[in-house]
Structure 1
């Protein structure tokens, strides 16, 4: 199976907001991000339902159509870790902006706005923002599913490993 490496996706897992309580009065949350066979996780924040991780995870993306799943767990010492919700990260709107090959926009320009819908896990409007030539960021607040409450704030950034070939591969 010959899969050409397309790029790296940096996911900055910023913080959790109002996460579910899974222990007596709090939780020890951490986040697991999976895409295909890749599985990365943040550090555990003890006794906090509003944790500040600020951890950077990097996925190798060979197929941008593979779902990226974010799952929050409560770390338990003597039993299996408890799930605290999950969300999918939709990178397609972001990658559309990256492939536009934009030039010399003022830093901070919103290239695209994505609204929350039934088709995504967004809790609020998300913007793809131009930082500088070849660099855009997207901040997202993801509403967790399969749990009574909780959100996770993340930021994504694409690093194209073959910038000279990116146009050729789309033709």
Structure 2
């Protein structure tokens, strides 16, 4: 617990225009990796525009980039790769360290712009919303013809952890 900064809640909202890996569709799921941790979403059957609406929670010991890999679940063969992305949580963690006492709801604290080195397909706002700092991201998948994944980050402080 002395190294734990807190927990990062990743709300996996949906995928848009994912690559078809089966005849006309795919059965996508996502694996998130940070350090030694690996978390996986459920599989959405026969859908290239899946809605997960699922939350995965990762323990953060240091603000490393998070790797995201999308796969097509296959029953009788190895799962097919459907692309990957990586996102940096440092801007989000820096925003968390600021003081927000009397900010109006939905105030944009910071904006992360898409670059050649990040996987953002559009600007990502870090926002003060309902008493919490959140970040919405649309991530363009790499190593694939098409596909984006929409996620939302939220921080969970853990009593007894090192904290930010």
Aligned residues: 164
**Residue deviations 1:16-64 (CA, integer Å, cap 9, x gap):** 0000010111100001111111111111111100000011000000111
CA distance in 2, matches of 1:9, 1:50: 25
Aligned-residue CA RMSD (Å): 1.8
TM-score, normalised on structure 1? Answer: 0.90
Shift in Å at residue 144 of structure 1?
Answer: 0.3
Do the aligned partners of residues 163 and 115 (structure 1) sit closer, same or farther apart at CA in structure 2, a change above 3 Å counting?
Answer: farther
Do the aligned partners of residues 165 and 48 (structure 1) sit closer, same or farther apart at CA in structure 2, a change above 3 Å counting?
Answer: closer
Shift in Å at residue 163 of structure 1?
Answer: 8.8
1:2-21 matches, cutoff 5 A: 4-21=3-20
Counterpart of 2:76 in structure 1 is 78
1:46-65 matches, cutoff 5 A: 46-64=45-63
- Bigger RCO of structures 1 and 2 (CA < 8 A, at least 6 apart): 2
Counterpart of 2:102 in structure 1 is 104
Q: Which moved more, 1:117-126 or 1:156-165?
A: 156-165
What secondary structure is seen at the aligned counterpart in 2 of 1:94? helix
CA distance in 2, matches of 1:163, 1:116: 36
Contact 2:3 2:162 in 1 (8 A): no
* Structure 1 residues not aligned, in runs of 5+: none
Which consecutive segments of 4 or more residues in structure 1 shift more than 4 A? Answer: 162-166
* Structure 2 residues not aligned, in runs of 5+: none
What secondary structure is seen at the aligned counterpart in 2 of 1:88? strand
TM-score, normalised on structure 2? Answer: 0.94
Q: Which of the numbers 136, 141, 144 marks the counterpart of 2:138?
A: 141
What secondary structure is seen at the aligned counterpart in 2 of 1:8? strand
CA distance in 2, matches of 1:164, 1:40: 21
